[in-house]
Structure 1
Amino acid sequence: MSAKQITYENIDPKVRSMIMVGLTLAMLIACLDGTIVSTCGATIASELNGTALYSWMITAYMLCETVMIPISGKLSDLYGRKPVFLVGLVLFVEGSLLAGMSASMEMMIACRALQGLGGGILIPVATAAVADLYEPAKRARMQGMLGAVFGIGMGLGPVLGGYITEYIGWHWVFYINLPMAVIAFVLTIRKFPMPVDDGEVLIDYKGMAVLSALLLDIILLFEFEGDRFEWVSPVTAAMVVLALVLMYVLVKVEKKAAEPMLAPHLIHNRTVVVACIMMLIFGIALTGSMTYSSMFAIYVLGLSVMEAGEYAIAMVLGMMITAMGSGQLLTRTGYRPWLAAGPVIGAAALFLMSTMGPDTDLTYYAAYLFLLGLGLGCMMSTIMVSVQNSAKQSEMGMTTSAVNLIRSVGSTVGTAVFAS
């Protein structure tokens, strides 16, 4: 390794702290925009005369974000986190600026797709960068902070979107990203730890194409299942068969690739496999419960959209407590207590939520959401730290993105399952 090679061992602590603040800001705006249109989307669609295309505002973002996660992770291993991250930030800013200027629903959907591409870079690369910036013993605290930011962004998005639309105007739902993105850009333009230059960079274009097609097929299947077509139908059967074929082709392609997008040997890493299973559960529980508990609050408990969003903050608070708490205490307790407690607490919260009815007191509703947040917060940062500490440094981006990808797919599946 060259003497000039920057690693977590010799990086200037002040520079590292500034980079971390920039990464956190970027992750926050990416998470916010995943949910921010849920309360103001109807207003935007109405003003742009595109109510029939309303669902694509959310779907376009989610599709592009999910497809971009594994691609950006691998590219950050090959080219370094900094250039890939900055590209993602620029794409996100362009998408936000143009979305605020949208004059038609078609333009809005295209801009949301561009935002999704940027968001699909920012979240996994920011998460992977923690392993470059901090030694293993200190990663837990920083991942705990990012886990809390993830929960804050997802939970506050609908509330923030509603307030901005009501008191300022929906255009500012997107413009609000710009100052935070500029600050993030300035803070992260500094020297990141870089991968060792091993010569020629080989990009797995075939794997990229097949994986993207597979993810599009899976996401669209769950997104439109039960709405555009039935669970048992020729369309469903065709999409399931296509997914199986693409999965088979992907394995064949990746086994032959010099630098695979998702290395087949990850399946032999028990930590990664268990982490993917738990992150799938995390994605299903977080997005599914957040979406449909708010619908329950509105249509059964009689809350307004804004009131439902405000009550959802209880879940965010729960996630913050255990995400940051696990990060602070992980070196003393180890992974197992948190990974054992998280699913148990989450399952108990979901069971309690299943007992709610029209006469449920709002205090109990908030308490159940808070309990669910506690359970979910035990899992996210703990899972990510365990994965990063078991991964090769040269594959940190790919391994981290694989887990983030499963979480994103879980979010899509969770929405469909809870809808059913």
Structure 2
Amino acid sequence: MVFRAESSPSETQPLLQPEPINAPQELTSPVNKYSTADICWILTGIWSGVFLGAVDGTIVATLLAPIGGSFNKFNQSSYIGTSYLLSVCCFTPLYGRLSDILGRKGALLVALTLFGSGTILCGLASSMEMLIAARAIAGMGGGGMMTVASITVTDLIPLKDRGLYQGLANILFGLGAGIGGPLGGWINDSFGWRAAFLLQTPILIFSFILVALKVNIELPFEVQNQSLYDKLRRIDFFGSLTLVGTVGCLLLGFSLKTTEELSWSNPLIWGLFVTSGVSGVLFILVETRWAPYPVMPLHLIRQRTPLAVSLSNFICSISAYSTLYNVPLYFTAVRLTSSSNAGLHLLPHSIALSVGSVFAGWMMRRTGKLYALTVASALLTVIASVLIILWNENSSPIHLWGDIVPQGFGMASMITTTLIAMIASVTKEDMAVATGITYLFRTTGQVLGVSLSGAILQAVLIKTLQERIRGPGSAEVIDRIRHSTDVIHTLNPRLQQAAVDSYADALRVIFIFQAACNVLSLLACLPIQEHDLPGTHEEQHKQIRGRNNQNRGAERS
């Protein structure tokens, strides 16, 4: 059995420059042939990196307390996670274009090198500041591993089967995230937190070697024969810089507002937002007027399906990550359960994530359709968020354990179908960049989901606590309740009830916010267009040619 992956002949042409109208010549592309064994080795190489990235994320979340304690800077430990996520958001979209310049192998090796270097530096860090900087370096590669892995699978697998393989990758990602926490705790107890970073090295080396040996997806001959100068000229340095400034300053402003509890009028906060706005304007000017090879071709965002996919992924990611962070808080602060019990309530959600993604892939493979499945999946997230809003002291365990399941199932299914919708709606030369854009909107939504929900929670919590707790020493009690849910167990019955009721009110506002996001995500899905999903590379190539011819006809008219 032989798989064929064909590169488009037009990958070297500027994305914003129309082709000549008279007798357009297509570039000569090599035909890539892979045996079943080669496919398995390639997937093993790229997915081992994806698995490691998932494990790393939850390991670090588990180790924040011991790391902060070892440097005596626990108040800065949240920046370990923030620096990584900010770096992922800023650099993820760059890998789409980089994979078209350096090839899939080159881009993957860059991502693995950055992630590996940052991870090893974390294990060797001599200060909290060095550790935070090392996590930022790791983030530069972490986002690229997921993005380029997805692009590579698209090169290898026909679009009709692509969703199923994405589902399998999501299962691997979920498995890594699931075992990362317990594994990190065991390593810390047995060898210390530094070992949790250093012991990732063997898997990194394994993935690096497999990618270097097996990922040999050839780009068009014209790209292969370009000089180093010509390849560097294709990199949109100024566009990349302004994009990093736009996304980084925006997310950093929200993150500092939440973690440092700064006011919106603080010069640092509004200064970051103003810088983000100015960078955004410059980014648009660069991409539309000056960049010959834009890092994010804005003509994609102006198209119906890519715009709908980007918005739906952005909004649903806000809701999803707000849910992941605030549902456990509900059980610790309102139900007064242990942290381990609160975490267990996310287990059905994790299972639903894996099942939902594979189900979506299987359905697309069976039917060749995705629109109805996308809308139904988005509707499931709305139903789940409404059910969570209705939680109260009389809610049965069935609801407390099961109401979150449709959220996980629906979200996993939706992000799988929308990724395929994005890939199916663009031309071959835009596929890699479009994949990077999709992951950019997702990761940006994830960070905003945590930051925005945290800001809303604290604003409502302060107001409700001040209404319920008055008198001498009330300000100190309120401050303690806001900063640690463990304090609630030590309060007298009257203050404990006030704290529980205040958290319940604040979290209900968060849950309403999540429901509103899911409704908006559903509405954003409605304009997505249905495209036939080709079952072979030959069909896919024919479909791409037809779409290119349509675009040329539109240019002539």
Q: Normalising by the residue count of structure 2, what TM-score does the alignment of the two structures yield?
A: 0.70
Residue equivalent to 2:150: 127
Q: Distance in 2 between matches of 1:79 and 1:154?
A: 30
Q: What is the SS of the residue equivalent to 1:124?
A: helix
Residue equivalent to 1:192: 216
Q: Distance in 1 between matches of 2:72 and 2:269?
A: 31
Q: Cα distance, 1:391 vs. partner?
A: 2.5
Residue equivalent to 1:38: 61
Residue equivalent to 1:99: 122
- The residue type paired with residue 100 of structure 1 is G
Residue equivalent to 2:328: 294
Q: 2:247 aligns with which of 215, 239, 244?
A: 215
Q: Distance in 1 between matches of 2:108 and 2:209?
A: 12
Residue equivalent to 1:251: 284
Structure 1's unaligned 5+ residue stretches are: none
Contact 2:319 2:449 survives alignment (8 Å): yes
Change beyond 3 A, Cα 1:242–1:101: closer
Deviations 1:284-340 (A, max 9, x none): 122111111122222333333333333322211001111011111203341112211
Residue equivalent to 1:310: 344
Residue equivalent to 1:145: 168
Moved more, 265-274 or 102-111: 102-111
Change beyond 3 A, Cα 1:162–1:302: farther
Q: Higher relative CO (CA 8 A, sep ≥ 6), structure 1 or 2?
A: 1
Q: What is the SS of the residue equivalent to 1:11?
A: strand
Change beyond 3 A, Cα 1:177–1:359: farther
Q: Distance in 2 between matches of 1:410 and 1:172?
A: 31
Q: 1:398 aligns with which of 419, 433, 452?
A: 433
CA RMSD of aligned residues (A): 2.3
Q: Cα distance, 1:172 vs. partner?
A: 3.5
Change beyond 3 A, Cα 1:87–1:130: same
Q: Cα distance, 1:236 vs. partner?
A: 4.3
Superposed, 1:267-282 pairs within 5 Å as 267-282=301-316
Deviations 1:205-238 (A, max 9, x none): 1101111111111111221224442245555444
Q: Distance in 2 between matches of 1:69 and 1:352?
A: 34
Deviations 1:130-176 (A, max 9, x none): 11111222212111222333444445544443444345532333234
Deviations 1:34-65 (A, max 9, x none): 34322320121101222232121011111111
Superposed, 1:9-408 pairs within 5 Å as 10-166=33-189, 169-189=192-212, 190-196=214-220, 197-198=222-223, 199=226, 200-201=230-231, 202-226=234-258, 227-231=260-264, 235-255=268-288, 256-333=290-367, 334-357=369-392, 360-408=395-443
Moved more, 97-106 or 137-146: 97-106
Deviations 1:327-369 (A, max 9, x none): 1120334111221122211121122222224565554322123
- The residue type paired with residue 257 of structure 2 is E
Change beyond 3 A, Cα 1:397–1:335: same
Q: Distance in 1 between matches of 2:93 and 2:76?
A: 28
Change beyond 3 A, Cα 1:111–1:235: closer
Q: Cα distance, 1:263 vs. partner?
A: 0.6
Q: Distance in 1 between matches of 2:121 and 2:340?
A: 26
- The residue type paired with residue 113 of structure 2 is V
Q: Distance in 2 between matches of 1:112 and 1:359?
A: 43
Q: What is the SS of the residue equivalent to 1:40?
A: helix
Contact 2:318 2:448 survives alignment (8 Å): yes
Q: Distance in 1 between matches of 2:357 and 2:413?
A: 6
Q: Cα distance, 1:195 vs. partner?
A: 1.8
Moved more, 99-108 or 278-287: 99-108
- The residue type paired with residue 208 of structure 1 is S
Q: Cα distance, 1:81 vs. partner?
A: 1.1
Q: Distance in 1 between matches of 2:250 and 2:218?
A: 34
Q: Distance in 1 between matches of 2:190 and 2:318?
A: 33
Q: What is the SS of the residue equivalent to 1:225?
A: helix
> Equivalent pairs: percent with the same residue?
26
Q: Distance in 1 between matches of 2:219 and 2:417?
A: 25
Change beyond 3 A, Cα 1:156–1:307: farther
Q: Distance in 2 between matches of 1:360 and 1:163?
A: 35
Q: Distance in 2 between matches of 1:177 and 1:282?
A: 31
Q: Distance in 1 between matches of 2:428 and 2:273?
A: 35
Q: Distance in 2 between matches of 1:231 and 1:410?
A: 20
How many residue pairs get aligned? The number is: 418
Structure 2's unaligned 5+ residue stretches are: 1-8, 10-26, 457-557
Change beyond 3 A, Cα 1:306–1:176: farther
Q: Distance in 1 between matches of 2:56 and 2:145?
A: 12
Q: Distance in 2 between matches of 1:224 and 1:159?
A: 29
- The residue type paired with residue 248 of structure 1 is V
Q: Distance in 2 between matches of 1:163 and 1:297?
A: 25
Q: Distance in 1 between matches of 2:54 and 2:236?
A: 28
Q: Distance in 2 between matches of 1:272 and 1:262?
A: 12
Q: What is the SS of the residue equivalent to 2:218?
A: coil
Q: Distance in 1 between matches of 2:130 and 2:99?
A: 30
Contact 1:140 1:385 survives alignment (8 Å): yes
Contact 2:309 2:438 survives alignment (8 Å): yes
Q: Distance in 2 between matches of 1:172 and 1:223?
A: 28
Q: Cα distance, 1:384 vs. partner?
A: 1.2
Deviations 1:3-37 (A, max 9, x none): 99353xx2233112211122112112213333432
Contact 2:52 2:176 survives alignment (8 Å): yes
Deviations 1:80-120 (A, max 9, x none): 11111012112222222232233321222122112111202
